[in-house]
Structure 1
Amino acid sequence: MDGTRRRFLEGGVGALAAASAGCLDSLGGGAPSVGGDENGGGAATASFFTLADFSRNVAGEALSVENAVPMGQHGHGWEPQSDITVEIVDREAFVHLGIEGFQRWADEVVREIEQNHDDVTLIPAAEGVDLTEYGQRDEGGHDSHDSESEEEHGHAEEHDHDHGEGNYDPHFWVDPVRSQQAVETIRDGLVGADGENADTYEENAAAYLTQLDDLHGRFEEELTGREHDTVVVAGHDSYGYLAERYGFDIHTPQGVSPDTEASPTEIAQTVDLVEREGIEVILYDHFEGDTLARTIVEEADTAMDVAALSPAESITREWTEEGLDYVGQMEEINLPSLRAALGAET
């Protein structure tokens, strides 16, 4: 485990490049499916990795679950090169986020199923999840930009709509507690789609919910006794729900949009912050790279290091081999990095 942690804390996007090089146009590119189809049972499609992982843990061997998004690709950034609706409607269920605009291709598939395929069960995983509006996290969570920063970016409102309906942050799955609600929704949907295996789905879901609750307990325990309550994420801020749950603040010179770049003023403000707060580790999104993080380290007068976070929205081939599913990414990548960034090392 120490070797695995060291590789991810040191970063390196080579695995991502290798995993992304052969993007798949067909389903199942995100990780191998389990159960179901090959064993004579049914099959379902999930609209990106996290939902596929949740669904597989509920389905077990009773139902095959395919991830529509190729390995190494983000759920919200990928678009199919051909119509995948034909493959999706040939399965018993479609697990999607249920937040309009997050995956526009998935929205189109949902509309097609609603109009013409009432034999396919739609499972909106975000249904019932307590979502937070961007800029509304007063205690813990995203550290909102001032008016000058928003003016410099100029894309905040547009990006919010690209991510989902209205101004709600869709990335709830980085919070293990909110994820439990999604798992319950998936469980109920699969039971409705395949009542013959209801007991299996109920039992599997109960076991996985216990795993998620244990994960929550680890974050609570290991992020206490920290030296400060602010982390710097040098990149797209997908981690607001995680910060909100565990009571720390996120500062990012880039803001919520992955399509904007940090200005020199924002970088300078961030350097002032890390020097003032004594922050020793700058975080970055593994899928975006560490260039901005290392720029901040180079500009600061204090000794600092960088560490990777995962948005838990995708998976690479290397992570698959390491067994870093959703829980694995949260435990082996995000928790150690946050401990280091908050000065909560045990």
Structure 2
Amino acid sequence: MTADQSTGKRSHVVSRRSFTALTGGALVAGLAGCLGEDPQDDTGGPNGGSGGDGDAEFTVFASMPAVWDFVRQVAGDHMEAIDLVPVGEHGHDWTPEPGMVEELDGAAGFVYLRDFASWQDDAADQLAEREDVVVIEATEGIEFFDSPAEDNDEHFWMDPVECQEGVLNIADGLAEIDPDNADDYEANAAAFNDELAALNDDIHDIVDRADLEDIVVATHDSFQWWHRRYGINIHSPVGTSPDDAASAADVEEVETLIEDLGIEHVCYDVGEPAQLAESLANEVDAEILPLSPVETQIDGSPAVDPSVEMEPDWGYVDHFREINLPTLETALWAE
């Protein structure tokens, strides 16, 4: 099985925009209005967790769970990282509701992904008008590609090598907010990137031991970056949006592929309804297995599978080591 070289670019580019003070905006108001008590927050603050003790001088808002973890890993004890996506919500289709702006008044930074959701790009543009907010594009310098699932596939964070570039972008942004601790942010980013490099090595090890090269995902397809990095063929009757529906013809095509390749498992996204995965598995006499695109934090188990127990404060590496690696090992016959 072929796979791309596991090396990543390391340019340090951060978006920093300063204009006039914010006069108002429904989107930014919505970001604040959706915040509330949340089990992901172990500090007693609003939505999200923190790398610090709750008394941090700076607060940085992150736009989805994977990015939230990158921020808290780099921030360490110096900043509070808050995930705007509530526990139980899917980062891909969640949008903020209108509300008050007060809880964003103390924001020192906003970290987002371009082209992931329109509200993130809109929020970045609006928050850029505030002179006291550093807007950090985690995807700066990361090239998307046309995958079998979609053109301009933005799911870079499913590739631990590409994630290292995003972590460096975040480190630069936090250093701009807090220059006095820039060395700590650089060191924390380097240490976390070592974890990501080890994770990449472990995925390669699974692929090298595998007897199969194909997996079926019967929920939205966030995993095509695994094909480019590791040579894993991802088959899904559903598109890249959680709201997409599978046609009867698409389902029949996947059923035929499962039988032809001898696939014994149907995977599902832990953050989505998985009725299609269940029915498809029943139809072809397969078992279902969980996958996490690190877009949803769950306190407990997915409705479809009580054997999976998740924690709301899991980080990126936890999602991979607790869910994705065991599933890949089983689904690809690498055990």
Distance 1:70 1:257, change over 3 A: closer
How far apart, CA to CA, are the structure 2 residues paired with 1:254 and 1:30? 31
The number of residues matched between the two structures is 288
* Pairing of 1:45-84 with structure 2 (within 5 A): 45-83=61-99
1:241 positional shift: 0.7
1:290 positional shift: 2.9
1:85 positional shift: 5.0
The equivalent of 2:321 in structure 1 is 331
1:132 positional shift: 1.2
The answer to whether the 8 Å contact 2:93/2:242 transfers is no
* Pairing of 1:109-128 with structure 2 (within 5 A): 109-115=123-129, 117-128=130-141
The answer to whether the 8 Å contact 1:27/1:66 transfers is no
Name the amino acid aligned to 1:61: D
The answer to whether the 8 Å contact 1:89/1:120 transfers is no
For residues 104-163 of structure 1, the C-alpha deviation after alignment (integer angstroms, 9 at most, x for no partner) is 333232222223x1221110001111211243xxxxxx5xxxxxxxxxxxxxxxxx6xxx
Name the amino acid aligned to 1:31: Q
The answer to whether the 8 Å contact 2:206/2:328 transfers is no
Query: Which secondary structure state, in structure 2, belongs to the residue aligned with residue 317 of structure 1?
Result: coil
The equivalent of 2:7 in structure 1 is none
Aligned identity (percent) is 36
The equivalent of 1:42 in structure 2 is 58
1:188 positional shift: 0.7
1:338 positional shift: 1.3
The answer to whether the 8 Å contact 1:308/1:333 transfers is yes
The equivalent of 1:222 in structure 2 is 206
In the alignment, which of 28, 35, 57 is matched to residue 26 of structure 1? 35
* Pairing of 1:1-346 with structure 2 (within 5 A): 25-26=34-35, 29=38, 31-32=40-41, 33-35=49-51, 38-83=54-99, 86-97=102-113, 99-100=114-115, 102-115=116-129, 117-135=130-148, 142=149, 167-300=151-284, 303-318=285-300, 321=311, 324-345=314-335
How far apart, CA to CA, are the structure 1 residues paired with 2:247 and 2:122? 36
For residues 24-60 of structure 1, the C-alpha deviation after alignment (integer angstroms, 9 at most, x for no partner) is 8216747223255833521111112111110000000
Distance 1:30 1:129, change over 3 A: farther
1:324 positional shift: 3.1
The answer to whether the 8 Å contact 1:187/1:201 transfers is yes
How far apart, CA to CA, are the structure 2 residues paired with 1:280 and 1:63? 45
The answer to whether the 8 Å contact 1:176/1:213 transfers is yes
The answer to whether the 8 Å contact 2:297/2:313 transfers is no
Query: Which secondary structure state, in structure 2, belongs to the residue aligned with residue 289 of structure 1?
Result: coil
Tell me the TM-score normalized by structure 1.
0.77
Which runs of no fewer than 5 residues in structure 1 stay unpaired? 1-23, 136-141, 143-159, 161-166
The answer to whether the 8 Å contact 1:28/1:68 transfers is no
Query: Which secondary structure state, in structure 2, belongs to the residue aligned with residue 316 of structure 1?
Result: coil
Distance 1:36 1:338, change over 3 A: closer
Distance 1:304 1:93, change over 3 A: same
For residues 49-108 of structure 1, the C-alpha deviation after alignment (integer angstroms, 9 at most, x for no partner) is 1111100000000111111111111222112222465533521111111x14x3333323
Higher helix share: 1
Name the amino acid aligned to 1:259: D
Query: Which secondary structure state, in structure 1, belongs to the residue aligned with residue 167 of structure 2?
Result: helix
**RMSD of aligned Cα (Å):** 2.2
Distance 1:108 1:29, change over 3 A: farther
1:325 positional shift: 1.8
Tell me the TM-score normalized by structure 2.
0.80
How far apart, CA to CA, are the structure 1 residues paired with 2:320 and 2:100? 30
Which runs of no fewer than 5 residues in structure 2 stay unpaired? 1-32, 42-48, 301-308
How far apart, CA to CA, are the structure 1 residues paired with 2:34 and 2:56? 25
For residues 227-262 of structure 1, the C-alpha deviation after alignment (integer angstroms, 9 at most, x for no partner) is 221111112101111232111111111232322322
Query: Which secondary structure state, in structure 1, belongs to the residue aligned with residue 209 of structure 2?
Result: coil
How far apart, CA to CA, are the structure 1 residues paired with 2:100 and 2:296? 19
Name the amino acid aligned to 2:119: W
The answer to whether the 8 Å contact 1:56/1:64 transfers is yes
The answer to whether the 8 Å contact 2:34/2:99 transfers is no
How far apart, CA to CA, are the structure 2 residues paired with 1:128 and 1:29? 33
The answer to whether the 8 Å contact 1:30/1:49 transfers is no
Query: Which secondary structure state, in structure 2, belongs to the residue aligned with residue 206 of structure 1?
Result: helix
Query: Which secondary structure state, in structure 2, belongs to the residue aligned with residue 231 of structure 1?
Result: strand
Name the amino acid aligned to 1:340: T
